[in-house]
């Protein structure tokens, strides 16, 4: 489940040392940022016999990894650590209707629950039809905790 966090909560997740954390950043060429519980062989484990070597960023106390390593990292972290935090960009989509945006009076039955009622279209809304308009909010960060399923809960087939 994705959870929107404020800056203090994200900082706490990033700075805790028990569970691996991966930060997905937006932008061309941006690498993944990873924090792991301390281990002498973290570089070797992250590399996983690949040609490319993870880069340690001393001032941030984290590793830079290629974006293409995301799925492999998460899968292996779930096996090794049983859980992993993923901090990722998130943009909320708002939905409304031109009838609601341009309404007068107080009666609103739109999915916006009256938040945009009568506000008009300031140019940020894309009107798909006369019954549907949408817009995307600015980028925020969401955080989710993935945990490995135990073998017992998956069923023992032996």
The CA distance from 104 to 117, in Å, is 8
Tokens of 89: 């960009």
The CA distance from 142 to 3, in Å, is 5
**Backbone phi and psi for residue 96, each to the nearest 5 degrees, phi listed first:** -155, -165
pLDDT digits (tens, 9 = 90+) for 32-56: 999 999 999 999 999 999 998 999 9
Residue spans per domain, the chain: 3-91+138-154, 93-136
Quote the pLDDT of residue 4. 52
Tokens of 98: 């031109």
Give the fold, CATH level 3, of 3-91+138-154: MutS, DNA mismatch repair protein, domain I (3.40.1170)
pLDDT digits (tens, 9 = 90+) for 67-86: 999 999 999 999 999 999 99
- Return the closest-CA partner of residue 37 out of 12, 57, 19: 19
The sign of the dihedral angle between the CA atoms of 27, 15, 91, 6 is negative
- Mean pLDDT on 107-120: 77
């Amino acid at each position: 489940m994705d959870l929107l966090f404020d800056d203090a909560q994200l900082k706490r997740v990033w700075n805790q040392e028990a569970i691996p954390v991966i930060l997905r950043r937006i932008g061309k060429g941006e690498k993944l940022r990873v924090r792991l519980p301390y281990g002498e062989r973290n570089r070797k484990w992250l590399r996983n016999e690949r040609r490319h070597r993870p880069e340690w960023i001393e001032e941030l106390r984290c590793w830079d990894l290629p974006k293409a390593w995301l799925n492999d990292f998460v899968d292996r972290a779930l096996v090794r650590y049983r859980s992993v935090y993923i901090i990722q960009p998130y943009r909320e989509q708002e939905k409304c209707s031109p009838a609601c945006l341009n309404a007068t009076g107080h009666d609103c039955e739109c999915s916006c629950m009256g938040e945009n009622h009568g506000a008009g279209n300031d140019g940020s809304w894309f009107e798909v039809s006369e019954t549907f308009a949408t817009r995307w909010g600015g980028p925020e960060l969401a955080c989710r905790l993935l945990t490995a399923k135990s073998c017992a809960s998956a069923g023992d087939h032996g």
